[in-house]
Chain A
């Protein structure tokens, strides 16, 4: 009986040990499999991110090329047509003894249109943009806006920013988009643009006194202007934050990490 009892005890202990080891093996398998699955998932996500970034980059390049060609077209075609019209008006004015005021106004308006188109075509032309730094380009753009619209744009910035040319263009387009949003959609009369740089970040803030918007509004989530700003900022490895209250204006802050710069 004693021997049999010991055998049974041994059998129970052995079986329990085997079952526990089997349980540990299954447990280990689940943990390892999950770890592998997580790694695979992270790699997939990383690849997806890289793909999205590449896609955005290509989209931006195409957009830049289109804008550049549009700028050239405006300068070489529309501007030339307006110049011809101006010449014809000047020729007509020379032959007239008394110049009608409407003709004078037309001449001035055409001059203004030529100046605006030249300025606009410059801001769209990538080659032109590459010759100047972001701050100079922004000054030109702001002067253009100040000259042609009813809004006043105030600009403050450091002396220079340590950005690569393509990143300068990207940030320039973001600010341009932000400014257009303030003018077109918010109906702002005052726009403040501030550029600043710390060792960690480059920051751009665009604040206006326009009508503001609802952050959670469905249209705002899908609006191409906001999406463009967000995707361009993401491409620079930064983030865009809007702070807006209806009737009290909007403030857009772009924060780009210096390491990506």
Chain B
């Protein structure tokens, strides 16, 4: 049931992306559609693996993790690009994450979720979101952030990764707790975080769509 809520939230975000971003410019905004499609597919596969075939879905999410991290890195890089030379920072962050990911994944033979690599990526994203906020406030020109799509994308990421810090930190313990005692605390927290993330992103897509209409 809890798992289904996350899938519904993700499908709603995908639906919004399909409605609003098909003709978005610059073209990198369209990559959200591909990412959301991939996310929904992974989520459905993970759901079936766990609830239908009764096998652990950690391996599936471990495959999803680098895609998610590289995509978010790419998006943040594109958003931060007008403010500072963000390329080397994001390349360095992605390389550190990939090294940690492969070390951890090889250790578990890709059967377990690479939580340490996820923690590294989360910390990196939180820092980059704060840097973006700082640059936004320092900027000479002002933007109406209430309708600024990039701001909502970054805010969604910031809430998701900052809010998920405790869960990520206690990931191994909470996973075993869920298996042993069926206390789905991690799922509940991630439903809330996913809701915030995808609500912010959906709103950003709508802002982007409205901006396109008003400027055309």
Contact = CB atoms under 8 A, between A and B. Distances in A.
B165 A15 contact: yes
B181 A5 contact: yes
A30 B162 CA distance: 16
Given A9-B177, A27-B155, A34 B162 contact: no
B145 A34 contact: yes
A8 B177 CA distance: 10
Contact of A23 (B162, B174, B181, B186): B162
Contact-size category for B:
20 to 34
B136 A8 contact: no
Interface residues of A, number: 23
A30 B145 contact: yes
B137 interface: yes
Given A15-B165, A19-B166, A27-B158, A37 B185 contact: no
Contacts of B174: 8-9, 12
Contact of B142 (A22, A23, A24, A37): A37
Contacts of A2: 181
A22 B185 contact: no
Contacts of B130: 26
A106 interface: no
Nearest to A30: B133
B183 interface: yes
A243 B185 CA distance: 69
Given A13-B185, A20-B159, A30 B136 contact: yes
Interface in B125-181: 130, 133, 136-137, 141-146, 155, 158-159, 162-167, 170, 173-174, 177, 181
A31 interface: yes
Interface in A182-212: none
A41 interface: yes
Nearest to A13: B185
B176 to A, nearest CB: 10
Contacts of A27: 155, 158-159
Contacts of B167: 12, 16
B137 A30 contact: yes
7 closest cross-chain pairs (CB), A and B: A15-B166, A38-B142, A20-B163, A23-B162, A16-B166, A41-B142, A12-B166
Interface of A: 2, 5, 8-9, 11-13, 15-16, 19-20, 22-24, 26-27, 30-31, 33-34, 37-38, 41
